[in-house]
Amino acid sequence: MQTKDFQNRSLLGIFLSYFKPHLRLFLMDMACAFTVAAIDLAFPLVTRSALYQLLPDKRYETFFVIMAIMVLCYVLRSALQFVIAYWGHTFGIRVEADIRRDLFSHLQSLSFSYYDSNRTGQLMSRLTTDLFEITELAHHGPEDLFTSVLTVIGAIIIMFTVQWKLALVVCLMFPVCMSVIILRRRKMSKVSKMVKQRTAGINADIESSLSGFRTSKAFANEPAEYEKFLHSNERFKTSKREFHKEMGIFHATMEFFTSILNVVVIALGGWLIMKDQMDYRDIITFSLYIGTFVNPIRKMAALSEMLANGFAGLHRFAEIMRTEPTVQDSPDAVELTDVRGALKLDHVNFSYKEELPVLRDVSLDIPAGETVAVVGPSGGGKTTLCQLIPRFYEATGGTISVDGKNIRSVTQRSLRSNIGIVQQDVFLFADTVLENIRYGRPGASFEDVVEAAKRAEIYDDIMQMPDGFDTYVGERGTLLSGGQKQRISIARIFLKNPPILILDEATSALDSITEAKIQKAFDELAKGRTTLIIAHRLSTIHAANRVIVVADGVIREQGTREELLAREGVFAQLYRTQNLVEGKF
């Protein structure tokens, strides 16, 4: 389903749509549940027949034959319960897997702005804990509802054939019991949703603390982190306590109604026996059916809790699936092919929030193959400018084009496949060196990976690692040095070999010697390609054909390095300041 489908459908419609691919398995589960319910309804009838006819008429052989048949029925019931437990849960897991697949796929389609405002731990909670509740609902929900309704209706019909007055009393009590279930379920659903939100918050806090444990240790702030955790954990305990309170009231009420049914049947049945309107065999049969009747009520009690949890999780799932990506391909978007690399920004504006403009009326024309350095003070808009080119964010005004094609008219995938980005904040996956480099071009041969590693000046380091290219880099590359991580990310770009390069402080984590080697490799890679170099260290821009100075969201200056130094403007001031600072060391 598309985002619009999720927006237009109800939660129940969304939920049931995931049943369709596994309909045969679902129907098999329902058929088994139906047979189990039928066997449960048959036993009291067989008992009544035996008490009324077989035993009084001394038809003992027939009695034991029927008992043997009932044994076989219960053997069949046990086998069907296995099918329900095993294949029913398999059905639920398949539904969960489909939901998780769609959720992950949709999360991938969401723009950078979504992740700017949502914590990773909360999203993890929605991909794991919430979906488990939906799995339980997918398996047990329809099955329990179906068997409960079937058993209740069947039991009531049979009870009316036995003694209509007693059956009528039971029927009058049943709606009262169900009304309590519905009322308490609504309260439980509200509290369950709150618990899930707080659980997601705890997951986010834990994820944040674990990710930053090196920083907390460096500042000896473990007690502070522990206090933060205790605070979150206490909020979780409070919300759980409220949920369990509601659940306790719910179950206590249910137990009262289910227990009082037996008292009512015996009391009223005894009175009818005294009036010669009922036989003791009928009251035994009635008591057996009350047991059959009570079990569905207990299931409905459990089902209401399951519904509360499951629909709370379903609501949070649908909430994400109904979220539109802020950056989307136009309906008539085409593939961007045969890219030369000419870039043009025409009166571009951008702001993360309307009242806080980041870029204002930026116009820039970069011919194919030119190397342009983008410099300026921190917070001036350099990185934002380069993030607009691959459409990580959407410009709020103006147009950006590649080879004369508006980037809004081409697919995001084809646009980004032609742009190589080395970011300041290097991210490596918890995998081997080989797979982290190969991420630049999945399916690349080992020889191509080796060549990329050599060009990035990381090959010798890899050969000194315990397992060479098969060395595990750790979570986010923690087992490697900062320079090694940076050079592996650079090797990815060498492997990708794109026509447009964006280097966002690409050598910031390298020592001077390695930086010089990498710079030579970059110079070679930049030949014939359009390259944007975002730089704070002005020593890294010597190969640039042109320098763009971005400050306060506008282009203040542009020209060659020598021209800008001669102007005695912003660039000259930055240049002198850096030389002065470096001279102190």
**pLDDT 10s digits, 383-408:** 888 889 999 888 889 999 999 999 99
- The pLDDT score that the predictor gives to residue 449 is 92
Q: How confident is the model at residue 584 (pLDDT cuts 50, 70, 90)?
A: very low
Residue of 353 and 268 predicted with greater confidence: 268
Across the range 132-152, mean pLDDT stands at: 82
Strand boundaries in 124-273, DSSP class E = none
Buried b (16+ CB within 10 A) or exposed e, 107-130: beebbeebeeebbebbbebbbebb
- The pLDDT score that the predictor gives to residue 119 is 72
Q: How confident is the model at residue 514 (pLDDT cuts 50, 70, 90)?
A: low
- pLDDT over 70, % of the chain: 91
Amino acid found at 158? I
Cβ distance 199 to 236 under 8 Å?
A: yes
Helices (H), 275-389: 280-321, 382-388
Q: Lowest mean pLDDT: which of 161-175, 270-284, 499-513? A: 499-513
Q: Using CB atoms within 10 A of its CB, is residue 545 exposed (0-12), middle (13-18) or buried (19+)?
A: middle
Name the 3-class secondary structure at 422: strand
Across the range 530-552, mean pLDDT stands at: 83
What is the spatial distance between Cα 141 and Cα 121, in angstroms, rounded to a whole number? 28
- Over the stretch 453-464, which tens digit does the pLDDT of each residue have? 988 888 988 999
What residue segments make up the domains of the chain, in order of their start? 3-321, 343-584
Cβ distance 404 to 567 under 8 Å?
A: no
Highest mean pLDDT out of 10-19, 43-52, 123-132, 423-432: 10-19
The whole-chain average pLDDT of the chain stands at 82
Buried b (16+ CB within 10 A) or exposed e, 241-277: ebbeebbeebeebbeebbeebeeebeebbeebeeeee
**Number of helical H runs and strand E runs in the chain:** 20, 10
What is the spatial distance between Cα 566 and Cα 515, in angstroms, rounded to a whole number? 27
Q: How confident is the model at residue 82 (pLDDT cuts 50, 70, 90)?
A: very high
- The pLDDT score that the predictor gives to residue 585 is 37
3-321 to CATH, choices 3.90.110.10, 1.20.1560.10, 1.20.58.100, 3.40.50.620: 1.20.1560.10
Q: How confident is the model at residue 16 (pLDDT cuts 50, 70, 90)?
A: confident
Highest mean pLDDT out of 113-117, 186-190, 460-464, 473-477: 460-464
Cβ atoms < 10 Å from Cβ of 510:
22
- Over the stretch 154-207, which tens digit does the pLDDT of each residue have? 888 888 887 888 888 888 887 777 777 667 767 776 777 677 677 766 776 776
* Contacting residues for 288 by C-beta, under 8 A, at least 6 apart: 43, 44, 47
- The pLDDT score that the predictor gives to residue 72 is 93
Predicted TM-score (pTM) above 0.75: no
Instruction: Identify the architecture of domain 343-584 in CATH.
Output: 3-Layer(aba) Sandwich (3.40)
Across the range 486-502, mean pLDDT stands at: 87
Across the range 20-35, mean pLDDT stands at: 90
Residues present in the chain in total: 585
Highest mean pLDDT out of 178-182, 508-512, 532-536: 532-536
- Over the stretch 344-398, which tens digit does the pLDDT of each residue have? 999 999 988 766 788 989 999 999 989 899 988 877 888 888 889 999 888 889 9
Across the range 136-149, mean pLDDT stands at: 82
pLDDT of 517 higher than 70? no
DSSP state of 352: E
Q: How confident is the model at residue 211 (pLDDT cuts 50, 70, 90)?
A: low
